[in-house]
Structure 1
Amino acid sequence: MSITVTTHLNLHGTAREALEFYLSVFGGESTLTTYGDLGMPADAPDAGRVVFGQVQAPGGFRLMAYDVPGASGASTTTTAGSTTRSNGMTYTDQPFFVSVRGDSLEEVRRYWEGLTVGGTIVEDLAASAWSPGFGMVTDSFGVTWILDVAGEARTD
């Protein structure tokens, strides 16, 4: 048996922009279907919003997103800054983080540089006790990402 877990973001009118952003960071292919594509009248308020969207990139990255019907505006989204790190501890009110692990620091740094554009750095990407590279960022869509490099923990 095989199982795949995919992060599915519930956004408030920004799914299209988020999917375009993640495609620019991770590459791959994007799929997008609007409520109008599935038969909602073109003049309905949500017709142009995303009912199904996905970015899938080589190497296993996949993320889905949609616009919650009837919801819009930044006031209904999670705001950057609700996750902080202090003295090696993470404090947050968010129910989840998205974790991306790469094989090399160069690979992870490319993703980091993309995700930090317009975002809030929670912890800079740097070597840690468990990884050659670890960092946390809350992106411009309010999603907090943990990026790290696969590696052995230090034993000193």
Structure 2
Amino acid sequence: MVGTISTYIAFNGNTTEALKHWQEVFGGELNLLTYGQLTLEGMPFDPPADALAHGVLTLDNGGLISGSDSFEGEMLVKDTAYSMLYNAESVEDGRARIDKIVAAGGEEAMKFEQAPWGGFFGQVFDKFGVMWNISSD
């Protein structure tokens, strides 16, 4: 088996909402497992039954976005120290993804346009505060 890297993110109680939103924007198959669906014997904490224990969005291109709910209190998610990168199939696809994110309450941070390295590139924060870098050749 070849090692891979994928994204895992936790929000304070609304990770399911985020994963469903990203499925609407990027497509793919979403699998969700709540704590209520698990046997919790031996768990070091007592989570709400409807909280997300593990979710996986398998994108059509093979990428993965996984996550679960966090319980540590308020979390600051919006930052530029990390981001998600989506390599669009075309310039039109890249623009369409940005438009979907903005239409759902996101904010464009860097206009999607010709980059110095020859492709197209732009940045957008989604309604959850996650920065998406959108790139296309």
* TM-score after normalising by structure 1: 0.75
Q: How many residues align?
A: 132
Q: Determine if contact 2:35/2:47 at 8 Å carries over to the other structure.
A: no
Please say if 1:33 is aligned against 2:33. Answer: yes
Identity within the alignment, %: 28
The structure 1 segments of at least 4 consecutive aligned residues displaced by more than 6 Å after TM superposition are none
In structure 1, what is the equivalent of residue 14 of structure 2? 14
The residue matched to 2:85 in structure 1 has which SS?
strand
Please say if 1:110 is aligned against 2:96. Answer: yes
Deviation, 1:4, is 1.8
Amino acid at match of 1:3: G
Please say if 1:77 is aligned against 2:76. Answer: yes
Q: Distance in 2 between matches of 1:13 and 1:129?
A: 40
RMSD over aligned Cα atoms = 2.0
Alignment of 1:59-74 (within 5 A): 59-68=61-70, 70-71=71-72
Q: Distance in 2 between matches of 1:103 and 1:113?
A: 15
Q: Distance in 1 between matches of 2:66 and 2:121?
A: 24
What runs of 5+ residues in structure 2 fail to find an aligned partner? none
Please say if 1:139 is aligned against 2:137. Answer: no
Distance 1:2 1:121, change over 3 A: same
Q: Determine if contact 1:122/1:136 at 8 Å carries over to the other structure.
A: yes
Q: Determine if contact 1:12/1:77 at 8 Å carries over to the other structure.
A: no
In structure 2, what is the equivalent of residue 124 of structure 1? 111
Q: Distance in 2 between matches of 1:25 and 1:4?
A: 23
What runs of 5+ residues in structure 1 fail to find an aligned partner? 83-91, 151-156
Deviation, 1:45, is 5.3
The residue matched to 1:76 in structure 2 has which SS?
coil
Distance 1:45 1:59, change over 3 A: closer
Q: Deviations over 1:7-41 (max 9, x none)?
A: 00111111110011011011111000001111349
Distance 1:63 1:131, change over 3 A: farther
Amino acid at match of 1:138: F
Amino acid at match of 2:29: E
